[in-house]
Amino acid sequence: MEILVCIKRVPDTSENEIALNSAGNDIERDDLVYSVNEWDNYAVEEAIQIVDRVGGSVTVVTVGDDESEEVLRREMAMGANNGLLLSDDAFAETDGRGIATILKAAVEKGNYDLILTGALADDGAGQVGGMLAAMLDYPFASVVNKIETGDDKKLKIGREIEGGNQEISEIELPCVLSIQTGINEPRYVGIRGIRKVASVEIPTMGAGDLGVDAAALAPKVKRLDYFVPEMGEGAEMLEGSTEEIIAKLLEMLKAKGGLK
């Protein structure tokens, strides 16, 4: 099976505090550590496991600048066979639909049976997979947490739906699936793995190579600013020494029935 996995380089926000820059038009990015989007990492692992079972190859693709090459290399160190960087000044200011448009052009340059994306990324939109499928007229399923391969015409998949339940469906190939975290346990990538792929040539394609018209990338949706939300009154913050904080907290927990 020929599998394309669409990935994105994002700031790792699980370990970093997000602060606004002084202009308020972006977050402070200088001190952030960037890596591959967590959901995408599960998607790449799933693709590698499928190819291990049924044969084929895994290609990782991203839309980004030169720095995005590092996440392609990281996923190749995991076991993806090929990388593809889609990079052009014309791609910089587009929206989710534009990203899907660029990816569609890349899909049409290849011959893929299965296209995977992460279910979500840093912007919380969860839109590119569904848009790409619609543009290609491929069937789509979101928040997929199980893939079973059968014959080469279809897959049996599970979607994570509300309440922790799982919706089981059959989907025809080629298709687009957006992958939920927890579907597998992504393998560890060590320094040695990274070194092995450090000098592998990663092809780059721009708007001209892909035949994407810049006018098709004009965004319908634009982000104006960033701001810190104010929701409700916020917590009463306990301050002082650890002993003082614990003494106050114990009193509150007793009063609220938190200690038995």
Considering only residues 143-182, where is the footprint of another protein by CB under 8 A?
Answer: 143, 156, 158-172, 175, 178, 181-182
Q: What is the distance of C-alpha 170 from the center of its chain? A: 24
Question: Given the rule CB under 8 A, which of 51-59, 67-75, 196-204, 242-250 is the region that contacts another protein?
Answer: 242-250
* Shortest distance in whole angstroms from residue 29 CB to another protein: 11
* Shortest distance in whole angstroms from residue 119 CB to another protein: 7
Site for another protein in 46-85 (CB under 8 A): none
Q: Are 34 and 9 in contact (CB under 8 A)?
A: yes
Question: Given the rule CB under 8 A, which of 1-9, 57-65, 105-113, 226-234 is the region that contacts another protein?
Answer: 226-234
Handedness of CA 63, 69, 71, 73 (dihedral sign): positive
- Considering only 13, 29, 109, 213, the residue that binds another protein (CB under 8 A) is 13
Q: What is the distance of C-alpha 31 from the center of its chain? A: 21
Binding of residue 99 to another protein (CB under 8 A):
no
Q: What is the distance of C-alpha 56 from the center of its chain? A: 23
Pinpoint the alpha helices (H) of 55-137.
69-78, 96-109, 128-136
> Among 32, 55, 59, which Cα is nearest to 43's?
59
Binding of residue 134 to another protein (CB under 8 A):
yes
The residue behind tokens 């848009």 is 131
Binding of residue 249 to another protein (CB under 8 A):
yes
CA 47, CA 162: separation in Å to the nearest integer?
A: 25
Q: Are 178 and 143 in contact (CB under 8 A)?
A: yes
Binding of residue 41 to another protein (CB under 8 A):
no
Binding of residue 237 to another protein (CB under 8 A):
yes
Binding of residue 20 to another protein (CB under 8 A):
yes
Binding of residue 19 to another protein (CB under 8 A):
yes
Binding of residue 141 to another protein (CB under 8 A):
yes
* Shortest distance in whole angstroms from residue 86 CB to another protein: 19
